[in-house]
Structure 1
């Protein structure tokens, strides 16, 4: 064991010495090649860490959805008839008062049976509180709905019934209405009808085609579906460009989850397999490129020093001992590249975030984790181990007599 340690130390000392003197360009290129691969891997893995940690890429159009545990906003079918939130008007008003919030609205989703006169058809009704800015909600514009929720009347549900409804093209076709026509929900009171304020193309899809959707005021849909007494809704949508508001949203209700959404049909990045896929792809690419690069250049370096290998053999150094020296040289080169690459990758994380803030109005796209400081050199050592067989084979195949003659 002592002999092997001495041989390994000899290989490390020789490699470091050659790097210091600049005697071998190939060794320096090997170090730089590993460093570049590891730096890119650290930067990409930092993006994956950011995604996995829930700090998904957040820009000016970031939306948050507060949903009950067990609920979801990734599927309309799951959201309907699922767990609900209570006292949504009061909570929404409190969130709306936060200066970081652009607007907030409860979203009540119900399947409504519509009486068309000859038949009864089913559509998805979404109850919202239209903002003053007339934002698009659930893929439909709300600028032709009265802002606020007049019928709520401070919890008494005695305010004026607006009867306004924005109807998607799919719903208008099924129900057979045009702009200005009356929509009569089945089993509704005579004064609980809706008027088609506008027909619009929406981008909400159920996976098999456009969803037949009508958007109305939350309190009016609650009155129709007997959920007014609990003031309940399926979700609360909060629009903001300030990620710091997330902690406030998490404290709004117990046993809820806060999801970052880019649309009702999207996929939540923080709970999907995307972060793992990104990290694994970066790891595989780094190991493959680094191994080929180091094996090739160290192999060429081994060929260049065949005379030294022959002399060592003539002095009685066995083939296995020479292979230990080559292993130490390869591992040293890879380790140095790993350390340099890790430091470069950490600097790259900061550069990515600065660039995203300056050019993309994004707060953060990559996150640093202390484990990355060990991850980079660790992967580099794996590269060194995998790259060793080729130069070791060259050293073992060297014909001492032929080289010395």
Structure 2
């Protein structure tokens, strides 16, 4: 019992000594040690928040949240262009239901198909990647092409009868127009298998869609007209569904409408490729190692200087009956307390760092890449305490080698 009371007394004395130095700023070394740990923990917390964000799909959000809805068999890498894979059904009716939601700016099915286009001028037929869509009332961009020249809606669909009037409209990118040798107003014949149909080029638009060997020739047409050519009218099939919205809450509604699909945040496609990799773990591990090294070196140096400057008080404690072991425990406790205080300050700064990171990435990249989780608080405090324990070795060694009588005689 006496040993326990002595330990409690030493810990209490350590807390009072640290508090006195921090409140009176009589010891610059202690203040600097707190600052060093706070800086290391703040950086670690911020980087760990970014790692959590990269490892969690829900953290990648944008003020203009666009969702790609694809069949479960598809992958994030096949979202942008998918030809001949699993398809979605009843896409027109699902699109109408989503478009009726006030939170949705627009929604359109997208069917992609390699189509052979032949200009009427007699040029050689070439293959172009055609995307069938339902153009919204307000022009937007799909596969890099503007929909402004296409008639809004899908007249040929005619409520599922596919006997409405064909628009015959086609928008082609500059790469496709150059390949075919066509311009606005020209007529082309599209062939898919044994099906043929004529289209009029209503717009030649610039597009940044490219592959590793150069720009990809692409074209936009109305979905129902492409479905008729590809035999996708039975079941109203499309490869994917694009939903433009500024409300992340729409995602759960989409998942309810299409339970056998994967809903991917468009702005987070690149991140999804790394979310299952070791990058987030590597970032967190590197930040931990760097923070511990910086913190230990900083605290050990500052607390070592503090012990050297505090020899007189340690000698007085020795004269009062505090043996060398008790003095060493006192210095260890002070070092751990100082580090923990720095850790608490670092957590607050780190949370601010996460918010600042999200604000900057939202402003310049349109996404929030960091995520705060309460577990970071516990994690940071534990790391700060470990920094204190590791750092205490040097000041504890200095305490052991401080001769009591020599310290008192120097006064």
TM-score range, shorter chain: 0.7 to 0.9
Deviation (angstroms), 1:399: 5.7
1:18 is matched with 17
| Inter-partner Cα distance in structure 2 for 1:138 and 1:77 | 8
| Inter-partner Cα distance in structure 1 for 2:11 and 2:376 | 25
Q: Is the aligned partner of 1:289 residue 2:288? A: no
| Inter-partner Cα distance in structure 1 for 2:53 and 2:117 | 46
Deviation (angstroms), 1:252: 1.5
Q: Is the aligned partner of 1:53 residue 2:52? A: no
Query: For 1:262, what is the secondary structure of its paired residue?
Result: helix
Q: 210-219 or 26-35, which moves further after superposition?
A: 26-35
Query: For 2:344, what is the secondary structure of its paired residue?
Result: helix
Q: Deviations over 1:352-382 (max 9, x none)?
A: 88x6899899897654423223112111122
Q: Is the aligned partner of 1:383 residue 2:382? A: no
2:207 is matched with 202
Q: Is the aligned partner of 1:159 residue 2:158? A: no
Deviation (angstroms), 1:195: 1.6
1:102 is matched with 105
Q: Is the aligned partner of 1:134 residue 2:139? A: yes
1:268 is matched with 272
1:122 is matched with 127
In structure 2, the CA distance between the partners of 1:73 and 1:226, relative to structure 1 (3 Å rule), is farther
Is the 8 Å Cα contact of residues 18 and 337 (structure 2) preserved in structure 1?
no
Query: For 2:211, what is the secondary structure of its paired residue?
Result: coil
Is the 8 Å Cα contact of residues 115 and 129 (structure 2) preserved in structure 1?
yes
| Inter-partner Cα distance in structure 2 for 1:362 and 1:157 | 39
1:223 is matched with 228
Is the 8 Å Cα contact of residues 123 and 181 (structure 2) preserved in structure 1?
no
Deviation (angstroms), 1:153: 0.9
Q: 333-342 or 230-239, which moves further after superposition?
A: 333-342
Q: Deviations over 1:27-82 (max 9, x none)?
A: 23323432344345434534543453333343443211111113135346862222
Selected match of 2:96 from 93, 96, 99: 93
In structure 2, the CA distance between the partners of 1:350 and 1:221, relative to structure 1 (3 Å rule), is same
In structure 2, the CA distance between the partners of 1:294 and 1:260, relative to structure 1 (3 Å rule), is same
2:259 is matched with 254
| Inter-partner Cα distance in structure 1 for 2:231 and 2:145 | 25
Is the 8 Å Cα contact of residues 86 and 232 (structure 1) preserved in structure 2?
yes
In structure 2, the CA distance between the partners of 1:288 and 1:199, relative to structure 1 (3 Å rule), is farther
2:31 is matched with 28
TM-score, structure 2 as length reference: 0.83
Deviation (angstroms), 1:234: 1.3
Q: 192-201 or 69-78, which moves further after superposition?
A: 69-78
In structure 2, the CA distance between the partners of 1:393 and 1:377, relative to structure 1 (3 Å rule), is same
Unaligned runs of 5+ in 1: none
Query: For 2:294, what is the secondary structure of its paired residue?
Result: helix
1:374 is matched with 378
In structure 2, the CA distance between the partners of 1:99 and 1:325, relative to structure 1 (3 Å rule), is same
In structure 2, the CA distance between the partners of 1:20 and 1:85, relative to structure 1 (3 Å rule), is same
| Inter-partner Cα distance in structure 2 for 1:79 and 1:27 | 61
1:67 is matched with 70
Q: Deviations over 1:281-319 (max 9, x none)?
A: 54344334322321221121122123455677897945x
Is the 8 Å Cα contact of residues 10 and 325 (structure 1) preserved in structure 2?
no
| Inter-partner Cα distance in structure 2 for 1:178 and 1:12 | 84
TM-score, structure 1 as length reference: 0.84
In structure 2, the CA distance between the partners of 1:203 and 1:11, relative to structure 1 (3 Å rule), is farther
| Inter-partner Cα distance in structure 1 for 2:124 and 2:280 | 49
Deviation (angstroms), 1:90: 0.7
Unaligned runs of 5+ in 2: none
Deviation (angstroms), 1:237: 0.6
1:192 is matched with 197
| Inter-partner Cα distance in structure 2 for 1:267 and 1:30 | 37
Deviation (angstroms), 1:101: 0.2
Query: For 1:215, what is the secondary structure of its paired residue?
Result: strand
2:243 is matched with 238
